[in-house]
Amino acid sequence: MAFFQAQDISISFGGVQALNRVNFTVNQGEIFSIIGPNGAGKTTIFNCINRFYDLTGGVFLLEGKSISHAKPHDIADLGIARTFQNIELFKNMTVLDNLILGRHRKRRSNIFTEMLFIKPVRLQEIRSREKAEEIIDFLDLEAHRDQLVVNLPYGVQKTVELGRALAMEPTLLLLDEPTSGLNMEESEDLAFWLSDMKEELGITVIMVEHNMRFVKQTTDRVLAIDFGQAIVEGETNEVLTNPDVMRAYLGEENVCNA
């Protein structure tokens, strides 16, 4: 059975048909990319998975079960974590606190036990910190551990956001344009972490990405969409060289000239 599936998903905003009967299938443990020009509807797919928007048609299936009736906050409990195109960190908190917030879904305490800060709460805090330290190690964030996120450079903020998603111990990770705003070196690091996440943590990744070189380097399979419609889905090389995809990206004339 497919790990994650979109079946005929559609949504429109007023007159704009942002997604029109899109299908795709993501296998367990693979890195899957969604590509397409600006405004194609890529981020909208993520927002629908997160249940920020209601689909007007179709379903998402996680391990065969529909997630279309879950509440937005239940999505995290299903093991789905994400990052945002325009970084949505908790800006006035430290890096460490942001990572610990990723542990929210693991909490076993409530406001009453927390108010008294009884032993199980203390132990839970310590476990959260251990996990956060692991991620700080993994992503090389030691230098920024206790800094406020607002004061960090863009590239580091992106890394912290990835770290926060990893702290949730997800089985499915959604990354919205993870390399945008990163320099070459930072993109290299990211590619390295992605392969580690795949090999060692067994996390399945869906990412939206404009950087074709990065897609080629990291991705197993690709879905290309344009104007809310799927163009083609398949192996990375196959999709990137598909004439329809090139046309969507470059425009009609350029393809003829090329």
Partner 1 sequence: MRFLMKTDYYQDIRIFKYRSTFFWYVALIIGCLLLPKVVDEYLVSQFSFICIYAVAAVGLMLLTGFTGQISMGHAAFFAIGSYTSAILTSHGVPFLIALPASGLVAAIVGVIIGRPILHLTGLYLAIATMGAAFIIEEILVRWESLTNGNMGFLVDPPVIFGFNFDTEASFFYLSLLVLALTLLLAKNILRSPTGRAFIAIRDSEIAAEAMGIDLPNFKTQAFAISAFFTGIAGCLYAHKIMFINPESYTIVLSIELLAIVIIGGLGSLHGAVFGSMFFIFLPQLIIISKDYLPTFIQDQTGLQPALFGLLIVLVMLFEPMGIYGKWLKTKFYFEWFPLYKKDSFKREKKYQKAERH
CB of 85 to Mg ion, least distance (A): 5
1, 15, 86, 252: which one contacts partner 1 (CB under 8 A)? 86
Residue partners of 106: CB distance under 8 A and separation at least 6: 128, 169
CB of 43 or CB of 218, closer to Mg ion: 43
Q: Is 57 in the site for ligand ATP (CB under 6 A)?
A: no
Hey, what amino acid is at 195? S
Using CB under 5 A as the binding rule, the residues of this chain from 78 to 97 that contact Mg ion are 85
> What per-residue string of b and e applies to 96-121 under the rule 16 or more CB within 10 Å gives b?
bebbbbbbebeeebeeeeeeeeeeeb
Find residue 59's DSSP bridge partners. 7
Q: Whose CA is closest to 19, among 50, 53, 44? A: 44
What is the longest distance spanned by two Cα atoms in the chain?
71
Residue 250 C-beta: closest distance to partner 1, Å: 25
Q: Give the count of residues interacting with partner 1 (CB under 8 A).
A: 49
What sign results for the dihedral spanned by CA atoms 127, 128, 129, 130?
Answer: positive
Which listed range, 33-41, 139-147, 184-192, 197-205, lies at the site for ligand ATP (CB under 6 A)? 33-41
Smallest distance, Å, CB 170 to partner 1?
A: 11
Output the smallest distance, CB 86 to Mg ion, in A: 9
* Residues linked to residue 16 through DSSP beta bridges, in sequence order: 13
- Minimum separation from the CB atom of position 68 to ligand ATP (A): 18
DSSP 79-123: TEEE--TT----TTSBHHHHHHHTTGGG----HHHHHHT-HHHHH
Q: Cβ 122 to partner 1, closest distance in Å?
A: 6
Residues 131-150 close enough to bind partner 1 by CB under 8 A: 133, 150
The answer to the question of residue 26 lying near partner 1 (CB under 8 A) is no
Residues that bind partner 1 (CB under 8 A): 43, 47, 50, 52, 71-77, 81-82, 84-86, 88-93, 97, 100-105, 107, 109-111, 114-117, 121-122, 124-126, 129-130, 133, 150-151, 164, 168
Using CB under 6 A, list all residues that contact ligand ATP: 13, 16, 18, 36, 38-44, 85
